[in-house]
Amino acid sequence: MKLYKRKPDDRAPLGQPDPYMIKAGDGRYYIYATGNPGPQLFCSDSLLDGWEYKGCCLEAPGQKNCWAPCVIEIDGKYYMYYSSMDEDSDDEHGQTMRVAVADCPGGPFRFVKNLLPPFSIDPHMVVTPSGMYLFYCVNEYEAQRVGTVVMCDKMTDPFTMEGKPVCVIRPTLDEEIYQRDRFKKGEHWHTIEGAFYFSKGNTHYLMYSGACHQNPTYFIGYSVAHGDPDADLRTLDWKKFPDDTTYAPLLSKNDFVEGMGHNSVIFDNGTCYIVYHGRDIGDIKLPEDARSARIDEMKIDGDVLSVEVTR
C-alpha cells in the first residue's frame, strides 16, 4: 500500500523512488528517497500512516541527482551513503558513491568524502557481528551477460573501504535485460541493482531489483546464503532463489501496480515489512517520476520469502 498520501497542492515530489526506511533512536520512522538536488526526506510517528514531507536533507554543494540514499546509525551518528553526479555533468555514468554524516536522522547530512569512482550506485551499509559491509553496484563490461552487478566490500570504519570487493550477484536471465543493443549491436545490457541485506539466524538474504523500472519484467528478487551470523559476507555462497535460470520474482507487475523495485526491509513489533517503490498502472505517462513508496508485510519461511501486495 502507498505510504505517503500526497495532496494536490503539496510541495512534495510526486514520487518517492528508491525508498529506504529506518526507525531511528528517537522512535520515529524516516524514509529517504532519490531526489534532485538531494535526497528527499519523509518522517512519521507511525509506520503505516501520518507521513510528512520534510524536504531535501543533504548539504552537498556541487552535486545533483542523488540516487538511492541509505542511512545507518553508528555510535550516535547518522551516516548517509548515496550516489550523485557532479553539478556540471550530464552523464549518468558519472554517478559516484559518497558518504555524508549528521547528528540526527533528519539531518542536515553534510557531505564528507567520495567512496568509489564512477559508475557506482545503490549502497546498502550493514553492521554484522563480523564488522561493517557495504553492498553497492558497478558496471561489468567483460562478462557473458554484460551489465550492472552487485558488489560487497568490508569497511574498516564508516568512511573507509577495505578495498577487497567481491561480486555477489550477476545477471543470469533475459528478464534482467535493461535494454537490448544498448551500447553495441547484439550485446544486451543487463541490470542487477538496489541490494538490501538482512539475516535471520544462519540464513542470509540479499534482495535486489532486476531490469529497468520501465520494463514489464522489472522485479524484486533475492539470493540466499547459509552460514554463521559472524561470517564475512563476502565469503558466503550466494544463490539466487530459486535458481539462476528461473524467473520467479518476489514482486513484479500486477493488475494495479507496476515498476515495483528497489526495496528496503524493516522489522517492527515482530513483523517484517518490505518497503519498495511502484507506480499505479498508467502513471508511467506522467511527466514526473510517479514511483511512490509502498509497504507490505513480508513472510519469511526458511529460504522462502513471500509478499501479498495491497492497494
Instruction: Quick: pLDDT tens for 47-95.
Output: 999 999 999 999 999 999 999 999 999 999 999 999 999 999 999 999 9
Please tell me whether the peptide bond between 39 and the residue prior to it is cis, using omega within 30 degrees of 0.
Answer: no
Place of cell 530459486: 242
Query: Hey, what's the cell of 3?
Result: 505510504
How distant, in Å, are the alpha carbons of 30, 84, 161, 182 from that of 65?
A: 20, 5, 23, 22
With 90 as the cut, is the pLDDT of residue 37 above it?
Answer: no
Instruction: Supply the pLDDT for residue 9.
Output: 74
How many other CB atoms sit within 10 Å of the CB of residue 283?
Answer: 18
The Cα-based distances of 282 to 212, 285, 286, 294 in angstroms read 16, 6, 8, 17
Domain ranges of the chain: 20-307
Mean of pLDDT values over 243-251: 98
In the chain, % of residues over pLDDT 70: 100
Task: Answer whether residue 159 shows pLDDT above 90.
Answer: yes
Residue 8: the pLDDT is: 75
Q: pLDDT tens digits, residue range 182-221?
A: 998 999 999 999 999 999 999 999 999 999 999 999 999 9
Let me know if 18 is a catalytic residue: yes
Q: Report the Cα–Cα distance between both ends of the chain, in Å, rounded.
A: 5
Strand order in the sheet with 63-74: 58-59, 109-114, 96-102, 77-86, 63-74
Distance, in Å, from the CA atom of 148 to the CA atom of 122, rounded to the nearest integer, reads 11
* Residue 288 banded pLDDT, cuts 50, 70, 90: confident
Least confident of 2-6, 155-159, 245-249: 2-6
User: Using 50, 70 and 90 to split pLDDT, how confident is the model at 287?
Assistant: confident
Kindly tell me if the per-residue pLDDT of 36 is higher than 80: yes
Q: Find, among 47, 48, 65, the residue nearest to 56 by Cα.
A: 65
Cell of 249: 520474482
Q: Active site residue: 122, 153, 175, 193, which one? A: 193
For 221, how many CA atoms within 13 A lie in the half-sphere containing its CB? 29
Q: Are 228 and 236 in contact, with CB atoms under 8 Å apart?
A: no
For 160-171, how does the pLDDT look when each residue is reduced to its tens digit (9 = 90+)?
Answer: 999 999 999 999
**pLDDT value of position 62:** 96
Share of residues in the chain with pLDDT > 90 (%): 94
- Report the CATH architecture of 20-307: 5 Propeller (2.115)
Alpha-carbon span 60 to 286, nearest angstrom: 29
User: pTM of the entire structure?
Assistant: 0.97
Q: What does residue 114 show for φ and ψ, rounded to 5 degrees?
A: -80, 140
Q: What is the mean pLDDT of residues 123-133?
A: 98
The predicted pLDDT at position 304 comes to: 98
pLDDT for position 85 = 97
Would you call 42 helix, strand, or coil by DSSP?
A: strand
- In one letter, which amino acid is 117? P
Query: What integer pLDDT is reported at residue 115 of this predicted model?
Result: 98
What integer best gives the mean pLDDT of the chain? 96
Give the closest residue to 274 by CA, choosing from 284, 286, 264: 264
